Structure 1
Amino acid sequence: MGNIQKQSITASVITYVGFAVGALNTWIFTSGFFTAEQYGLTRIMYDIGYTLFALANLGSVSVMYRFYPYYRDRLPLQKRDLFGKMFLVSMFGFLLVSAMLLLFKDLFIQKFSGNSPLLVQYYYVLFPFTFFFLIYSLLEVQAWNHYASVVTAFYKEFVLRVLTTLLILLFLLNILDFDHFIVLFSLLFGCISLGLFLYLRRKHAIVFTLKTSQITTRMKDKMVPYGLFISLVSFCGILAKTFDTILISSVLDLSYVGIFTFITYLTSIMEAPQRGLIAASLPVIAQSWKNKDRGRIFRIYQKTSINMLLFSGFIFALVWMNLHNAFAIFHLDTIYLRGETALLILGVTKILELGTGVNSQIILTSRYWRVDFVTTVILLVTLIPLNYLLVRKYGITGTAWATFIAYLLFNSIRFGFIWVKFKMQPFTFQTLIAIVILIINYFIVTAIIQVASPLLEAILQTALYTILSAFLIIRLKVSEDANNVFNAGVRRIKEFVARSR
């Protein structure tokens, strides 16, 4: 995959370094320094802000990565008006969303005051959080369109978490009370937005112009319906991702949101390769559709599928085998173990989702982009009633089951559509080999290594599982990219040794 491979690997490394910082933050949040309700508030604020962003951007983010290749190929930077136009559209959308928030404030209070009074108390921070999340998202897609996904990963996955760590330390040192902590927390996306903007300006990768170009004049009749349609699609898709915590905070309370946040953080570790791969492959897929290069899209589809399956399966195996040891080693509050069953269900769900590769990006950038809306509506129509039924009866485990059922149906439909319409499907015999390797190695390692010390057991199990899995994946050539990375590493080591003599 060349450039995609390099960018996705670098972005994934940055993301995992960021996850290490995030793990520190999560440890502090779950070790008694914050209440489960306070930790849950940081998550629900993100989820509500993310949902409001989906409405506020009015499809501008999707329009930028869908149509920017035409501007990049035919206009100099100074005449590319797409960013300026989409910025204004997004600001208009934010004003509409803000008005809606104020209009329905009483309803919001009514729904959440009983079980989540802390959310009602900090209602006002949703405005700056949503605004700066919107600004960053516009800058992020602009960077993607200039093949700078590594930089966006650095700011979003690493810098954002480091800034969160600094806020946590200020809170622990009693320099900030919780009121000021939450206010500053809502401004963090503003900080990384400034950093990314300055980078884009320095690299001459962004310009703000409102003078309408010929391309905009010619393509506006396609952009407007696409943007509005994708805005609805995006809202449905994001609501499907955030509805669970919003419902939990309303039906249960913020402490359960905190527990659910903890287990979703553990499963989110599996997504690091996906974030890098999507950021790197999205503009390439869009360009390939423009060039009618289906062969390239098919290769990306298969490679992203096997790579994300391997990464997600490997990481989840490590998380699951080390779960109880981690609680003992880091003295985590055992209240969070209430989500253990939900963690298993969500982990399997995430593996199934990631294993289907970039199916969403293939559909969304094709001329059948409306199918993305149909499948997303099916997801939402399945997820919402299942959540209502199951969360009331089974708590957060019910939410996990609802997510599993809905996403299994959702990804099956998308997989089937791409297979039938484009004659593409991402699975090969190597997919089966990958699954067998990951599962068999898990049972071998956990059966062989059982010691009294949680720390020693965690180290030995992790080391043996990593060595066994890596050896078999490379030996059996399960992933071409994995072998390329391994061979490149061996070559560099040999070169280093040769220079040292």
Structure 2
Amino acid sequence: MGIVQRQGLRNTIISYIGLALGFVNTAFVLPALLAPAQLGLTTLLVSSATVYAQFSAFGFASVGIRFFPYFRNREAGHHGFLPLLLGLPMFGFALITAFYLLGQPLILARYEPEDLALLQPYYVWGCLLALFVLLYSLQDAYLKGLYHTAFSSFLQDIVLRVLIAGLALLYGKGILEFHEFVLGYIGLYGANVLLLTGYLAYIGELHLRPTRAALRVRPVAEIVRFGGFALLSGLSGSILGSIDSWMVSAQISLAAAGVYGIAYNISTALTIPARSLNKIAFPLLAQYWKDQDLPRMAAFYRDTTRLNTILGCYLALGIALNLDFIYSLIKNPVYATGTTAVLLLLAGRLFDGITGVNGLIVVTSPRYRFDLIFNLSLAAITVLLNRLLIPPLGITGSALATLFAIVSINTARTWFVWYSYRLQPFTWRIPLILLVAAGSGLLVWLLPELPSRLLTMLLRGTVLTALYGGALLLLGLVPEAQPLLQKLLRR
């Protein structure tokens, strides 16, 4: 667990600094300076580019992590692995771009005239944004295989958010027009790609010379076949993260997509512990499979699930109990209509953390093909539920569809990992942690509201931390902290 703790700690620190910056952007900067429709436009552009890039990559971001242990040899330039990793996705990008441009009339026909006037000028620019997202994801996958994950997290979670905030302030002060703001927004993703490339050169891992050895280390057909399955399997994650923005903007409006985007961003606080861990867990699990070390994998599965549950419950309660205060910081009251959506999304995120790294175990296992069945079914159900629930329930319907999708896929994957390999993440500590969280949350919810929302938030946060944290330590649910607790008690 040494490398996981070091890299995980760095990623967690970076991610939480990024979370704070993201909250400032979400609560203060962007809502204050952009209209809901403008915010919805930027959300839609990023969501579209993410799926666009994933189709182009043909699953090679997962290939980079799954197969890198077989290529690892720094003296030999990792046998030309990086050019292999970039090659097919560049061809895929050209192909998907052709479909994207030809489908422009059909896609834009779904939007109302007011939204169409805002979206149409930036449709073609979406190609460039998708290219930047693609190159970043491939380089990030390569760095994960190298166990260098902190710098890419720093760029994505801190640098990008600081620059977006600065760009928004320039627009708010009238220095930039909105058109220039959007183009600058896209350009920042390109700057991240250049910085990541520079980092690879700095650590001596930018091996761009193609070699024939790359075609002999593992059969190319096997790599491409895995990439195809990884593409189709990974689409469920992209659909969960993107289809809601698409369908809300198309079935309601870009302004509604902006409101939903704020709700979605608030709920992402729960993903920080798991996302920080997964950056190093993916290559580590691939190595466990290569070594056939199932006992260590089982211990890792249980430990990470417990830690995700502890942090997830704390964050979920902290956000849910203080939603009034959070939305009070966003001066535009329109955004507060997303409160119910936040609660539903928090429930989904929490369930995802409680079920652990099941998806990573499946996709790195010899039976990775079975994940495709789960994901394709999930994608179809997600689209159908959004189609059915958004018209009567609005953005709440989209959040409900996301909750159902997250619960479904994690239940299926957890069962599959247990059935196939007799690995499951639950110990007696998990239900006890949930019971402590429920009791602490109920007691904090019963506290009276103070005249100031800020004081109410501080009171609830302090009491929640004392009750929840104290109970976890006293009951021995965080064994990693027991030596520190004993030292403090002795003093």
TM-score in same-fold range (> 0.5): yes
* Residue of structure 2 equivalent to 1:389: 388
Quote the sequence identity (%).
Answer: 27
Instruction: Say whether the 8 Å CA contact 2:19–2:269 is kept in structure 1.
Output: yes
From the superposition, tell whether residues 163 and 6 of structure 1 become closer, same or farther in structure 2 (CA, over 3 Å). Answer: same
1:187 paired with 2:187, answer yes
Q: Equivalents in 2 of 1:17, 1:488: separation in Å?
A: 30
Q: 1:35 aligns to what?
A: 35
**In 2: Cα distance, 1:33 partner to 1:220 partner:** 50
The answer (yes or no) to whether the contact 2:32–2:330 under 8 Å persists in 1 is no
- Offset at 1:317? 0.8
Matches within 5 A, 1:456-495: 456-481=455-480, 483=482
Name the counterpart of 1:173: 173
**Separation (CA, whole Å) in 1 of partners of 2:200 and 2:388:** 47
Using structure 1 for the length normalisation, give the TM-score. 0.93
Aligned partners of 1:38, 1:428: CA distance in 2, in Å?
Answer: 47
1:5 aligns with 2:5: yes
CA contact (8 A) 2:84 2:214 kept: no
Report the Cα distance in structure 2 between the residues aligned to 1:220 and 1:187, rounded to whole angstroms: 34
Deviation of 1:475 after TM superposition, in Å, equals 2.2
Larger mean Cα displacement after TM superposition, 207-216 or 91-100: 207-216
Please state how far the C-alpha of 1:157 moved relative to its aligned partner: 0.8
For residues 368-390 of structure 1, give each alpha carbon's deviation from its aligned partner in whole angstroms, at most 9, with x where no partner exists.
10111111112112111111011
- Partner residue in 1 for 2:442: 443
Corresponding residue SS for 1:426: coil
> Retained in 2: the 8 A contact 1:359–1:418?
yes
Distance 2:79 2:488 in 1: 44
1:7-50 Cα distance to aligned partner (Å, 9 max, x none): 11221111110111111111235644210001111111111011
1:225 is aligned to 225
| 1:353–1:214 distance in 2 versus 1, CA, 3 Å | closer
Show the counterpart of 1:250. 250
Determine the C-alpha separation between the residues in 1 that align with 2:487 and 2:213.
Answer: 47
Pick closer, same or farther for the CA change 1:60–1:456 going to 2, 3 Å.
Answer: same
The more displaced of 116-125 and 11-20 is 116-125
One-letter amino acid of the structure 2 residue matched with residue 416 of structure 1 = W
Change (3 A) 1:488 1:128: farther
Over 3 Å counting, the alpha-carbon distance change for 1:218 and 1:383 in structure 2 is closer
Change (3 A) 1:443 1:223: same
Q: Deviations over 1:144-164 (max 9, x none)?
A: 111111222111111111111
Cα pair 2:390 2:398 within 8 Å, conserved: yes
Compared CA separation, residues 2 and 490, structure 1 to 2 (3 A): farther
Distance, in Å, in 1 between the alignment partners of 2:205 and 2:106 is 43
Separation in 1, partners of 2:164, 2:482: 36
AA aligned to 1:334 is P
Question: Are 2:420 and 1:428 aligned?
Answer: no
Correspondences of 1:120-139 after superposition (within 5 Å) = 120-139=120-139
Shift of 1:205: 2.4
AA partner of residue 397 (structure 2): G
Deviation for aligned residue 1:483? 4.8
8 Å CA contact 2:80–2:214 kept in 1: the answer is no
Change over 3 Å in CA distance of 1:282–1:444 after alignment to 2:
same
Q: Equivalent residues in 2 for 1:315-330 (5 A)?
A: 315-328=315-328, 330=329
How far apart, CA to CA, are the structure 1 residues paired with 2:331 and 2:303?
38
- Per the alignment, residue 499 of structure 1 pairs with none
Return the alpha-carbon distance in structure 1 between the equivalents of residues 70 and 459 of structure 2. 53
Report if the CA contact (8 A) 1:136-1:192 is conserved: yes
Aligned length: 489
Contact map agreement 1:115 1:252 (CA 8 A) in 2: no
Gap change, CA 1:80 and 1:253, over 3 Å in 2: same
CA distance in 1, matches of 2:218, 2:54: 27
Distance of aligned partners of 1:331 and 1:250 in 2 relative to their CA distance in 1, 3 Å threshold: closer
Tell me, yes or no, if the aligned pair for 1:85 and 1:210 is still in contact at 8 Å.
Answer: yes
The yes-or-no answer on 1:413 pairing with 2:412 is: yes
CA contact (8 A) 1:160 1:192 kept: yes
Aligned ranges for residues 36-51 of structure 1 at < 5 Å?
36-51=36-51
What secondary structure does 1:50 align onto? helix
Alignment map for 1:140-179 (pairs within 5 Å): 140-179=140-179
Paired position in structure 1 for 2:348: 349
- Report deviation, 1:441: 1.0
Alpha-carbon deviation of 1:488? 12
205-214 vs 175-184, which moves further: 205-214
Cα gap change, 1:482 to 1:301, in 2 (>3 Å): farther
- SS of aligned partner of 2:212: coil
In structure 2, distance between residues paired with 1:431 and 1:275: 20
Instruction: Give TM-score, length-normalised by structure 2.
Output: 0.95
User: Which residue of the partner structure matches residue 498 of structure 1?
Assistant: none
CA separation in 1, counterparts of 2:130 and 2:237?
Answer: 17
Residue of structure 2 equivalent to 1:497: none
Partner of 2:296: 296
How far residue 218 of structure 1 moved from its aligned partner, in angstroms, is: 4.1
**Cα–Cα, structure 1 residues 137 and 482, in superposed 2: closer, same or farther, change >3 Å?**
farther
Q: Secondary structure at the match of 2:297?
A: helix
> 2 CA distance for matches of 1:488 and 1:379?
47
Assess if the C-alpha contact under 8 Å between 1:116 and 1:250 holds in 2.
no
Letter aligned with residue 227 of structure 1: G
Q: Residue type matched to 1:207 in 2? A: H
Does the 8 Å contact 1:30/1:36 carry over to 2? Answer: no
Instruction: Describe the SS at the equivalent of 1:448.
Output: coil
Write the letter of the residue equivalent to 2:386: N
Change (3 A) 1:354 1:114: farther
Gap change, CA 1:193 and 1:331, over 3 Å in 2: closer
Q: Per-residue deviation at 1:332?
A: 2.5
Measure how far apart 1:79 and its partner are: 4.7
Shift in CA distance, 316/165, structure 1 to aligned 2, threshold 3 Å: same
CA positional deviation for 1:219: 2.2
What are structure 1's unaligned runs of at least 5 residues?
Answer: 495-501
